[in-house]
Structure 1
């Protein structure tokens, strides 16, 4: 688990530092659904923040739908979307006995409610038909201010899925869903609550994607020499903000941290001139390499460039493929 640390001399408010660190832990499943978060007293001891500040951070996390408070028990990571349910299974009951038992139990419950076999069949067929039609189009949604994160998701899903994928700003999602009527909305766990509040009234499902936990990259950063000039490059300003908070919590002022969006060519040129080590997302990696080649004759030693793993974890993509009925036979 991350050791939450607050940099008191940072321009970023302490409450936002803690909020983003906890949200990252949830989105990367270091705090999985159902996990009990530390008490306000425990976090006050770890971070040095007042318990009232921590309570307000937990309230913000609850307001955006990431955690839930259980009276007398504590604060728990909220189950999102289909995380708590059973994934669709094959009808080969002899091969999958647990699936057979589940189907039988569902049939029994529906029949006890007074439905006929024909009605149950119609319900199942309608649900399957709806699922298949929803799977015909995938909409990726993120807020306009962080379309870079959406571009990362889009690129990774286009490689993994052989169906249309469209990027839609969260602010335009309602209008697009009214026009398309069917589809599946996917988004980072960061933005799940907002997307679900828009899509659910229209009977359109939203599937949260868990982001990669960056454990390998954080391990590298942990052992960088003192005063290393570290560059971070991404398409997403949101990823850069979280990265800065995580790195500061891990190393404090031990490193000289420089960040740039891949689209900011002026800032990127300055970064590749100054940094000794650069970590970039996969989409930004070729842009960083090209920027280094462009100034190769002006620098004595080129920076060491590390390409991070995909923004979306492999397991999350595999679960999405199952949800969309695209799993391997």
Structure 2
């Protein structure tokens, strides 16, 4: 145990003498990070000081960042600087301590690979600048024969990301990319190969979107009674065709399937008057509700309306937010 000595006839107050000796013990690593300081009682017996004086010294050490108090355990020497992944001391690091840890780790890895701090700075700034420029323009690519699926993706992306997006037909994508220096192209995995073939030579980032699995809706339709009529209303004609194929595979001719896009008023009216169940996209739900209400006098029993939660998978939305620096 380190012996602290107090000079009673000194002009320096006893508390200051003890404070300076303890600070030296910490700085010289006689008390290393994580070391538990003696109790006020033990130190009072050693130095002859009152326990209140020692408590005052301990509080000053804690205020100055040399030690930390753990309730019910004691007072311990704090790690400082890079020891134990402690906080960086810059104001921005104090404001975002968890982010500071991540940044510090990334910097350490770059330096260990032989990069200088200036090079690391250049790498970080270039990446941030590129992502900002890419997030400034988001393109949704969809086949020209089914731009409705692009509208559906754009509808959900604008809602969740809260940024404007532009729908582009895949066969027009090359011409659009020739006129821009940076952008992010997103598309469904159904079309990813065609889109990447166009975007890759132009060094444009492409992010594929996973689609919702429709498991809840499929399980519901599996258990419908025979001879029911099911309406599928979607912005995408392709989704309607795929739904027909999937449901025929599940139920054969047990169910009558009718599909429509919201702008096709004739087909929509037929579904509203005939179907017992109508499944629709979020973007179509209000339109279908309005159509059902308008036809209420001609309908004996209103159809059950099911609004699909989303077309784009939640994980894809979260990934896109991270890639665009939106959260």
Q: What TM-score, normalized by structure 2, do the two folds share?
A: 0.66
Q: Deviations over 1:15-53 (max 9, x none)?
A: xxxxxxxxxxxxxxxxxxxxxxxxxxxxxxxxxxxxxxx
- Structure 1 residue aligned with 2:108: 104
**Alignment-derived partner of residue 157 in structure 1:** 157
Q: Which runs of 5+ in 1 are unaligned?
A: 1-89
- Tell me, in whole angstroms, the C-alpha distance in 1 between the residues paired with 2:248 and 2:111: 54
TM-aligned CA deviation for residue 103 of structure 1: 4.8
Preserved CA contact (<8 Å) 2:189 2:208: yes
Give yes or no for the alignment of 1:144 onto 2:149: no
After TM superposition, the structure 1 stretch with the greater mean CA deviation from structure 2, 93-102 or 264-273, is: 93-102
Secondary structure, in 3 states, of the residue corresponding to 2:300?
coil
Larger radius of gyration: 2
Q: Equivalent residue for 2:41?
A: none
The residue number in structure 1 matching 2:45 is: none
Rounded Cα–Cα distance in structure 1 between residues aligned with 2:153 and 2:123: 33
C-alpha displacement of 1:147: 0.7
1:137 touches 1:163 (CA, 8 Å); kept in 2?
no
| Residue equivalent to 2:312 | 312
1:104: how far off?
3.3
* Unaligned ranges ≥5, structure 2: 1-91
- Report the count of equivalent residues: 234
What is the aligned partner in structure 2 of residue 124 from structure 1? Answer: 124
Q: CA contact under 8 A between 1:140 and 1:153: conserved in structure 2?
A: yes
Q: Deviations over 1:218-252 (max 9, x none)?
A: 11101111111111111101111211122122212
Distance 1:267 1:310 in 2: 23
Q: What is residue 192 of structure 2 aligned with on the other side?
A: 192
TM-score by length of 1: 0.66
CA RMSD of aligned residues (A): 2.2
In the TM superposition, 1:105-254 aligns within 5 A as: 105-109=109-113, 111=114, 116-254=116-254
Identify if the C-alpha distance between structure 1 residues 101 and 301 changes in structure 2 by more than 3 Å, giving closer, same or farther: same
State the 4+ residue runs in structure 1 displaced beyond 4 angstroms.
90-103
- How big is each residue's C-alpha offset from its partner over 1:275-327, in whole Å with a ceiling of 9 and x where there is no partner? 11111111111121222222211121111111111111222111111111010
Residue 153 of structure 1 and its aligned partner are, at CA, apart by: 0.9
In the TM superposition, what are the counterparts of 1:53-132 in structure 2 within 5 Å?
101=105, 103-109=107-113, 111=114, 116-132=116-132
Q: What residue number does 2:9 align with?
A: none
Look up the match of 2:266: 266
Matches of 1:325 and 1:227 in 2, distance apart? 50
